[in-house]
């Protein structure tokens, strides 16, 4: 029995499902999760000592690769001063200034410890600012596990949402309306029906939690126009795509200014850090200035801030994003060509350092289209690549990530492994 299997059996005795986040359990792909012992650059090693090319990058944060020497040095320099203070530090000001400089829609920012905390707090702030209750979200977009966000569409277009998790009261879910991603007609209908009730619309402008799905410019422009027209707060959830698709995030790519933005992943450099921020007049409603309460013992933790601030400084180097996008595009083009050689239905897409792999003939634009993919073939491909030492997300509904450490040799090795994996699917 492998050490990974031994650890998984042991973990299940004291941890529900043996994991501390569900996708890690390999439930959708089958098999035994890999327990990771160390990482460096574009690679990590499991408990059995096997090396993998890593395309999850801790689900996005490791944009510089694992254990980047300058980030490591920044963390080590603050460690000796203390792990946490529960009081302000100058570094918190520095990272806030950096975020406001890089994301022009953010005039003020509040640090938190997770993406869920950022989106939950941004929605509470939007409700407090507007004195309204209803929020709109989109099918396939994941904004963390706060109660009001674990909601699916009702049986009709504008019916109340239904909880998708046990423990979420229907009285909370009823304040959430779920619409189809990239569907402007549904959006217009919702605003005509509920415009005066809508506190906020929250969206992933580049979705990564139903696999990679890009919003259309028409869709995002419609969101901005309707929110402005009806006085609703537009929230861009850029926890995943922020600093991943461009230095200024998806809002830079699309040229659209949200009212609030949620950030995470990259801004922690691999440490637990996230943030939400936006218009000064909205942020002024947060305690201690206003009546919307939000707090966090570890918010702005000095170690996380050190890792995040150094990461934000390094990704501003000239040509960083051009090189990152080029390597990501090389990966998806190579995988597409390998699938074509094997005559396996497949498509792929990328933007910045994010990518999506789809076992279908064309790139999807909604959750309904994503669900038409061949998950059986994806699962077989995932395991063939895992056996070959390439670690993709263990789910057909997750985006992948490339780092600046994924050089030509790493990408070429991945494509070589994929030729064999696709050939086995066609056999």
Three-state SS annotation for 196-260: HHEEEEEECCEECCCCCEECCHHHHHHHHHHHHHHCCEEEEEECCCCCCCCCCCHHHHHCCCCCE
Name the residue among 224, 208, 216, 207 with its Cα closest to residue 258. 224
Residue pLDDT, tens place only, 66-96: 999 999 999 999 999 999 999 999 999 999 9
- Give per-residue pLDDT as tens, 13-30: 999 999 999 889 999 999
Residue range 182-213, pLDDT digits in tens: 999 999 999 999 999 999 999 999 999 999 99
Phi, psi of 199 (to 5 degrees): -80, -40
Q: What confidence tens digit (pLDDT) does each residue in 392-410 have?
A: 999 999 999 999 999 999 9
Q: Count Cα neighbours of 79 within 13 Å in the Cβ-side half-sphere.
A: 8
Instruction: Look at strands 347-351 and 260-263 and give their pairing.
Output: unpaired
- The distance of Cα 415 from the centroid of its chain, to the nearest Å, equals 25
Query: Would you call 44 helix, strand, or coil by DSSP?
Result: strand
Q: Are 239 and 262 in contact (CB under 8 A)?
A: yes
Annotation says 237 is catalytic = yes
Q: List, in order, residues 6 or more apart from 43 with CB less than 8 Å away.
A: 51, 52, 53, 54, 66
Cβ-based burial of 337 (10 A; exposed 0-12, middle 13-18, buried ≥19): middle
For 308-354, write each residue's pLDDT tens digit.
Answer: 999 999 999 999 999 999 999 999 999 999 999 999 999 999 999 99
- Tokens for 229, please give them: 């027209």
State the pLDDT at residue 155. Answer: 40
| Catalytic entry in 237, 310, 321, 391 | 237
Of residues 142, 181, 254, 391, which has the active-site annotation? 142
What pLDDT does 159 receive? 43
pLDDT at residue 283, as a whole number = 98
273 neighbors 267 (Cβ within 8 angstroms): yes
- The set of residues, in sequence order, having a beta carbon less than 8 Å from that of 322 and lying 6+ positions away, is none
Q: Which residues contact 97 (CB under 8 A, 6 or more apart)?
A: none
Take residue 290 and report the two structure tokens written for it. Answer: 């206003």
Choose the catalytic residue: 43, 55, 181, 265.
265
In DSSP terms, 213 is beta-bridged to 207
Annotation says 142 is catalytic: yes
Q: What is the pLDDT of residue 161?
A: 56
Q: How many angstroms separate the Cα of 281 from the Cα of each of 230, 286, 309?
A: 17, 10, 26
Q: How confident is the model at residue 167 (pLDDT cuts 50, 70, 90)?
A: confident
Strand ranges inside 27-164, DSSP E: 36-40, 43-46, 51-54, 108-112, 134-138, 151-152, 162-163
Q: Has 46 been annotated as catalytic? A: no
Q: How far is CA 410 from the centre of its chain?
A: 23
What global pTM score does this model have?
A: 0.96
d(CA 108, CA 349): 33
pLDDT digits (tens, 9 = 90+) for 96-141: 999 999 999 999 999 999 999 999 999 999 999 999 999 999 999 9
Q: Which of the 8 DSSP states describes residue 109? A: E
Which comes out higher in pLDDT, residue 159 or 380?
380
pLDDT of amino acid 156:
43
Distance CA 75, CA 304 (A): 8
């Amino acid at each position: 029995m492998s050490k990974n299997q031994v650890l998984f059996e042991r973990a299940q005795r004291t941890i529900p499902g043996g994991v501390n986040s569900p996708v890690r359990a390999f439930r959708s792909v089958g098999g035994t999760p890999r327990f990771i012992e160390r990482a460096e650059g574009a690679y990590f090693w499991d408990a059995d000592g096997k090396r993998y090319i890593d395309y999850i990058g801790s689900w996005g944060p490791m944009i510089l690769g694992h254990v980047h020497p300058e980030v490591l040095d920044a963390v080590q320099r603050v460690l000796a001063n203390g792990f946490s203070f529960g009081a302000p530090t100058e570094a918190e000001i520095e990272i806030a200034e950096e975020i406001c400089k890089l994301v022009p829609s953010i005039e003020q920012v509040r640090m938190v410890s997770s993406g869920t905390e950022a989106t939950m707090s941004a929605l509470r702030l939007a409700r407090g600012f507007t004195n309204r209750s209803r929020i709109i979200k989109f099918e396939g977009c994941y904004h963390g596990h706060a109660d009001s966000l674990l909601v699916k569409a009702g049986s009709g277009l504008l019916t109340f949402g239904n909880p998708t998790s046990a423990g979420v009261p229907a009285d909370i879910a009823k304040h959430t309306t779920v619409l189809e991603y990239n569907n402007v007609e549904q959006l217009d209908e919702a605003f005509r029906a509920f415009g005066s009730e809508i506190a906020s619309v929250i969206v992933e402008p580049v979705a990564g939690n139903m696999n990679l799905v890009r919003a259309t410019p028409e869709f995002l422009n419609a969101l901005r126009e309707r929110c402005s027209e009806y006085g609703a707060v537009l929230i861009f959830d850029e926890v995943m795509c922020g600093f991943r698709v461009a230095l200024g995030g998806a809002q830079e790519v699309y040229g659209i200014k949200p009212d609030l933005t949620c950030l995470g992943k990259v801004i922690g450099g691999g440490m637990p850090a996230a943030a939400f921020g936006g218009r000064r007049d909205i942020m002024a409603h947060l305690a201690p200035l206003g009546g919307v309460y939000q707090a966090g013992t570890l918010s702005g933790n000095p170690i996380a801030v050190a890792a995040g601030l150094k990461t934000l400084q390094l990704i501003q180097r000239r040509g960083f994003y051009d090189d990152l996008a080029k390597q990501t595009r090389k990966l998806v083009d190579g995988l597409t060509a390998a699938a074509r050689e094997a005559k396996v239905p497949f498509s792929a897409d990328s933007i910045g350092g994010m990518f999506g792999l789809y076992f279908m003939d064309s790139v999807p634009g909604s959750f309904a289209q994503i669900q038409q993919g061949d998950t059986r073939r994806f699962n077989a491909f995932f395991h063939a690549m895992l056996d070959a030492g390439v670690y993709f997300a263990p789910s057909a509904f997750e985006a992948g990530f490339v780092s600046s450490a994924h050089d030509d040799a790493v990408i070429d090795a991945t494509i070589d492994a994929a030729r064999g994996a696709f050939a086995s699917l066609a056999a």
